[in-house]
């Protein structure tokens, strides 16, 4: 390109930024990964419920309730992804 006089060959400034692809590891799911996530979340929910029953302090109870609600939201998110994944698995690629 320099030989064609399209650029002068001097660097004035470089601008770069990082982007996260749509198919990153956090956004890529399969049945095995979903099952592992759901088992982990179920264990966390059980643990938080056990801790909530044993807790005496009101402040601690509120914190545990928040964490419990967050895990239940994640659980429903993963369950929805699992439902969406089922029809996609039936598609046969040639």
**What does the domain layout of the chain look like in residue ranges?**
28-89
Q: Which residues contact 52 (CB under 8 A, 6 or more apart)?
A: 61, 64, 65, 68
| pTM (global) more than 0.85 | no
Ramachandran angles phi, psi of 39, nearest 5°: -65, -40
Mean pLDDT along residues 63-92: 86
State the pLDDT at residue 9: 65
Q: Which residue has the tokens 């990964």?
A: 33
Please classify residue 58 by burial: count the beta carbons closer than 10 Å to its beta carbon, then call 0-12 exposed, 13-18 middle and 19+ buried: exposed
Higher pLDDT: 2 or 55? It is 55
Q: Kindly report, residue by residue over 32-76, the tens digit of the pLDDT.
A: 999 999 999 999 999 999 998 888 888 888 999 999 999 999 999
DSSP code string of 37-54? HHHHHHHHHHHHHHHHHH
3-state secondary structure of 26: helix
Statement: residue 25 has pLDDT above 90 = no
The overall longest dimension of the chain from CA atoms, in Å, is: 78
């Amino acid at each position: 390109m320099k030989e064609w006089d399209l650029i002068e060959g001097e660097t004035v400034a470089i601008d770069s930024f990082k982007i996260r692809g749509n198919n990153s590891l956090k956004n890529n799911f399969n049945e095995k990964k979903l099952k592992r996530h759901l088992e982990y979340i179920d264990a966390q929910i059980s643990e938080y419920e056990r801790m909530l029953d044993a807790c005496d302090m009101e402040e601690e109870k509120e914190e545990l309730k928040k964490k419990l609600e967050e895990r239940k939201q994640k659980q429903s998110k993963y369950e929805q992804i699992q439902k969406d994944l089922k029809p996609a698995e039936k598609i046969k690629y040639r």
